[in-house]
Structure 1
Amino acid sequence: MSQSVYHEIGGREAVEAVVEAFYDRVLSDDRLAPYFEGMDMTELRAHQVQFISSVAGGPVDYSGADMREAHAHLDIGDAEFDAVAEHLESALRVNGVGDENVTAILDEVESLRAPVVGR
C-alpha cells in the first residue's frame, strides 16, 4: 500500500478522528465492550492511531505488541473480529474516507484475522 492512502485520508488528524469514532462505536457495542474493561483507553487509542497509520502507509511504524500476543488472552472469535471490522468501516466512512481507501485499510486489517483470533 502506498503512503498516499494515509495522506489521501487526511493524515494524522484524520486517523485520530477515525480512532475516536471507532472506539465510540466499539465501547457502545454490548458484544465488544467487555473486552475493554480495565484497559488503559488512552494507551489503546494511541496504539490504534499508530496501527491505522501504519496499515494506511503513513510515516508511522506500529510499535505495539505482536497481534497474536496482544489478543491471545481475550478469546476473540470470528464474530467479534467481524464486529470490530464493521465498526472500523463505519468510522472510516463517517470521517469521509473513500471506498477505495476503506477497502485498502480493511484488507490490511483482514490479513490479521488469523493471529487475532488465535489461529
Structure 2
Amino acid sequence: MGMYASIRGWLEIDVKQRVTAEQIIEQNRHELYSGGWAFPSAPFNWSLYLFYGGDIRQGELSWLRGQVEQLAEIPPVDEDNDWPRGLFVVTAEERDGAQMWQVREATVTELPAPGLSWLGE
C-alpha cells in the first residue's frame, strides 16, 4: 500500500498573485493530489489565503514541496514588496514527529515541529 504523509497548510498571497498561483498549480497538476489545493470562493480585501490539505504518498512529498517552492517565488506585485508567506505541517508514518515548511522571503525552510506532533497521532 505504501507510506503516506499528511500535509496541511496555507500561503498568504496578494489577490493580484492569484492567476500566477493558479498557473503554477495547473502546470504541476497531479491526477490525485492537486485536489488538495483550495482558494476561497469569495476572497475579500487584499490578502488571499491559498490552502492545501491532504494525505499523499511519501514519495510525492518532493512534488508538493517543489510546488510550494515555486509559489514562494511569486514576485511581489506592489511597493510593499511582500513575498508569499505561509506554513505547512507535514506528519508522516516513518518520520519522528512533525515537520514544518516555513515560507518566507521566496524561500521554503524545513524545520522540526515537535509541538505539532500530536497532529500525526
| TM-score category (smaller protein) | 0.3 to 0.5
TM-score normalized by the length of structure 1? 0.38
Relative contact order higher in (CA < 8 Å, ≥ 6 apart): 1
Bigger-Rg structure (1/2):
2
Counting strand residues as a fraction of each chain, which structure ranks higher?
2
TM-score normalized by the length of structure 2? 0.38
